[in-house]
Chain A
Amino acid sequence: MNRLLLVLLIPATLMTSVTAAVAAAIPTSLPELLDFYAADSAQPFDAERGKEFWLKKTPADDGKMRDCTVCHGEKLSVSGKHVKTGKVIDPMAPSANKERYTDRKKVEKWFKRNCKWTIGRECTAQEKGDVLKYLSLH
């Protein structure tokens, strides 16, 4: 009987599909994020400098100018739109979007991609901190 049970149970267990692990989030908060970047920054973060950085235009290969607002829009409290695909991008202002800046993995991923796309290189910890400081005030 025990053997019969085993014979029945083993395939039943194997048949239960196991879904792949979800990309590991690193839960965080805005103050924690600022601390994270502060460790590698020389100066205290400055929202004004962050704003300048956010709006700074950089010429791209396609002859157009790029800055953060190209996709995120002019107003931080409303949704932006991906310049190419038109996909809606949720507001950057934490007051309008509670999901913002709660996952360090996600923040880092988008800083990496979007800095390279917009200014052609990765951002420094100082630049990330300044921008976050600016965005956090909205």
Chain B
Amino acid sequence: MKIDRLISALLLVVLAATAGMAVADDDNFYSWMLTIERKGEVAAVTDEVYKEECGSCHFAYQPGLLPAASWRKLLAAKALEDHFGENAELDEDVRRPLLALLEKHAADNSYYKRSRKIMASLKGATPLRITEVPYIRRKHDEIPARLIKPNAKVKSLSYCDACHQQADKGNYDDDTVSIPGHGDWTW
């Protein structure tokens, strides 16, 4: 009987530990409530299929940068045939799980700070372009136009990682910005 109790106690500890991990791993209300880790930025992309299918042509934008309704429009089978002028068709067995992944981690389902701010600024709008999100436009207001469009190494706000050196980690903090031909961007 004593050993039984010992086993139960051990199991409890293991369960508590794994439960904590599962929660910390997930981006939901409980993890937001229960972890001391600050969810200050945007959840990073970890999915290999997403990295391969979307990231082989362009920066793998974090799902938390747009609401689920935007991803549904973008990832519609018909829409992918003309994806901003490119053909980005996906087989159904790839498209469906990818869309599910994007919906699951979309801004409206995320507790990361930037995703919350994006949602608050959208006021129900569901843009196709991340650069049309009011919060993101506002955050870039202070950058002189000459550093963007005429800058051959930047060209457009669409190329997040041209200036945000840790964009692939979901970190868009001011301190990580370095504009090509200009340098660090800190205040």
Residues of B within 8 A of A137 (CB): none
Tell me whether B22 and A113 are in contact (CB under 8 A): no
- Distance of B150 from chain A, by nearest CB (Å): 16
Closest residue on chain A to residue B155 by CB atoms: A86
Check B34 for interface membership: any CB of A closer than 8 A.
Answer: no
Check B87 for interface membership: any CB of A closer than 8 A.
Answer: yes
Tell me whether A15 and B56 are in contact (CB under 8 A): no
Tell me whether B57 and A20 are in contact (CB under 8 A): no
Tell me whether A85 and B57 are in contact (CB under 8 A): yes
Residues of A within 8 A of B168 (CB): none
Closest residue on chain B to residue A22 by CB atoms: B49
Tell me whether A15 and B91 are in contact (CB under 8 A): no
Residues of A within 8 A of B86 (CB): 84, 113, 117
Closest residue on chain B to residue A8 by CB atoms: B11
Tell me whether B58 and A85 are in contact (CB under 8 A): yes
- Distance of B49 from chain A, by nearest CB (Å): 5
Tell me whether A116 and B89 are in contact (CB under 8 A): yes
Given A15-B19, A17-B25, verify A109-B11 contact (CB < 8 Å).
no
Contacting residues of chain B (56-88) with chain A, CB-CB under 8 angstroms: 56-59, 81, 84-88
Closest residue on chain A to residue B95 by CB atoms: A23
Tell me whether B87 and A24 are in contact (CB under 8 A): no
Tell me whether B159 and A22 are in contact (CB under 8 A): no
Residues of B within 8 A of A117 (CB): 86-87
Query: How far apart are the CA atoms of A16 and B84 in the complex, in Å?
Result: 38
Tell me whether B8 and A87 are in contact (CB under 8 A): no
Tell me whether A4 and B52 are in contact (CB under 8 A): no
A21-63: contact bitstring with B at CB < 8 Å (1 yes, 0 no)?
1111000000000000000000000000000000000000010
Tell me whether B93 and A5 are in contact (CB under 8 A): no
Query: How far apart are the CA atoms of A9 and B84 in the complex, in Å?
Result: 49
Tell me whether A23 and B93 are in contact (CB under 8 A): yes
Query: How far apart are the CA atoms of A20 and B100 in the complex, in Å?
Result: 10
Given A22-B48, A23-B49, A84-B85, verify A4-B8 contact (CB < 8 Å).
yes
* 8 Å CB contact of A23 from B52, B56, B85, B100: B52
Residues of A within 8 A of B15 (CB): 8, 11-12, 15
Check B94 for interface membership: any CB of A closer than 8 A.
Answer: yes
Check A82 for interface membership: any CB of B closer than 8 A.
Answer: yes
* 8 Å CB contact of A5 from B8, B84, B87, B88: B8
Pick the 5 closest A-B CB pairs, nearest first. A15-B22, A85-B58, A117-B87, A113-B87, A116-B87
> Could you list which residues of chain B lie within 8 angstroms of chain A, going by C-beta atoms?
4, 7-8, 11-12, 14-15, 18-19, 22, 25-26, 47-49, 52-53, 56-59, 81, 84-91, 93-94, 97, 100-101, 159
Q: List 12 A-B contacts (CB under 8 A).
A: A4-B8, A9-B11, A12-B19, A15-B19, A19-B47, A20-B97, A20-B100, A82-B58, A85-B159, A105-B91, A116-B89, A117-B87
